[in-house]
Amino acid sequence: MTDDNEASISKEPAVSHNESGHAVATRHDDHALPERFENPGLPDHVHRQGDNDEAAARRSERQVATLFGLSMLATVLFVVAYAVIGKDDNVTLPILGKVHALHVALGVTLAVSMLGIGLGAIHWAKTLMSDEEVVEERHTLRSNDDARADFVKVMSDGADSAQIKRRPLIKYSLGGALGLFAVPLGLQLVGGLGPFKGDVEDLRTTLWDTEVPVLGADGKPEMKNGKPVTRPRRLMRDPDGTAIRLSDVTLGSVFHVLPEGINDTEHPINQKVKASVILISLQEDRIKNTRERDWGINGVVAYSKICTHVGCSVGLYEQTTHHLLCPCHQSTFDLTEDCKVIFGPAKRPLPQLKIDVDDEGYLYAPHGFDQPVGPSFWERG
């Protein structure tokens, strides 16, 4: 600290007290300091019920312990669900429809587990921990032995004020809740490391690899040689589900697309995360790659919307540069060069979906993507 600084500090106004006992700033020297206002002081401390009534404090203690106990129960249920519920078990929920029961069970129990710890800690702080207002004077950052000793004393006083020593029920229930809470984290960590254990083939195929039945005039599937007649899936607008004509796709326009018939599948959400597509129209002569041009029509091209980094939705299109941007970690794909990565952490181009136009002018996909969609982590196996 310079002498100037020390001098300026020594010229700070001192504090005296007026007749009512309130602190008032006063001047030290002749420098013209601005007028100071009267320090209103701290408001009177209002005691809570538990401060003076041991029965109320014990009631709060039980409520806090109950919330920590609820967290423990939810954590145990998390582990049970993890072990018992099969990966093919489903439940039907409002809005979401049919979803995996395991995901729902793990999500709900983990949420209750965290909520129990959080609410318990808040209730503890509001009803039992000290709520005395304190004033901490400013001091230099230099630390010495006395300061360290003070710190230890403050921590010890804090523990006393939080009543952690006097309330063993809270101490042990909080320890149990936090200790058990580590279990699901550990399970997720251990389960998420190492080679990919899912079905890699599942990632290689999407709904675009399958066809839909052709319906007759009576609304029933047409049959030929005892088998239903099928055709490739049309490109449908997401979310309203209407088919897209080539003539609808004007230069520069962008469509978010799903395969026809996706809502008739057993798990529409699971299908959507693999089969989402972005359809864009650009000037055909801007496309440098011959195969990319051939897999589109008149400059209209379709690409997987699932980012090859970790699977976010690549939904931002910059028309002047022909760049597709993933909002999660800014991976950028160049639409004029087969969606190759020009920036960001993604390692693979976005897979292209070949499109064609049928007799009625609607766009359809003759077959699925030529490579797996989404992140490349499955390659680790």
Contact residues for ligand FES, defined by CB under 6 A: 307, 309-312, 326, 328-329, 331, 344-346
CB closer to ligand FES out of 24 and 328: 328
Minimum Å distance from CB 273 to ligand FES? 13
Minimum Å distance from CB 323 to ligand FES? 13
Region of residue 335 (phi > 0: left; psi between -120 and 50: alpha; otherwise: beta): alpha
Do 309 and 328 form a contact (C-beta atoms < 8 A)?
Answer: yes
CB closer to ligand FES out of 299 and 344: 344
Closest CA to 335 of 273, 257, 276, 283: 283
Minimum Å distance from CB 274 to ligand FES? 15
CB closer to ligand FES out of 213 and 311: 311
Both tokens assigned to 276: 């989402």
Minimum Å distance from CB 40 to ligand FES? 52
Helices marked H in 128-267 — which ranges? 145-161, 168-192, 200-204
Do 64 and 123 form a contact (C-beta atoms < 8 A)?
Answer: yes
Sign, Cα dihedral of 191, 196, 201, 202: positive
Range list of β-strands (E), 289-344: 300-304, 316-318, 323-325, 332-334, 340-343
Report how far residue 300's alpha carbon sits from residue 287's, in angstroms, rounded to the nearest whole number.
10
CB closer to ligand FES out of 82 and 378: 378
Minimum Å distance from CB 59 to ligand FES? 49
The Cα-based distances of 222 to 76, 212, 230, 265, 366 in angstroms read: 53, 11, 8, 19, 20
CB closer to ligand FES out of 11 and 329: 329
Minimum Å distance from CB 339 to ligand FES? 13
- Alpha carbons within 13 A on the beta-carbon side of 42: 7
Report how far residue 316's alpha carbon sits from residue 300's, in angstroms, rounded to the nearest whole number.
17
Report how far residue 209's alpha carbon sits from residue 196's, in angstroms, rounded to the nearest whole number.
23
CB closer to ligand FES out of 230 and 376: 376
Minimum Å distance from CB 78 to ligand FES? 27
Minimum Å distance from CB 312 to ligand FES? 4
CB closer to ligand FES out of 236 and 341: 341
CB closer to ligand FES out of 263 and 330: 330
Report how far residue 68's alpha carbon sits from residue 332's, in angstroms, rounded to the nearest whole number.
46
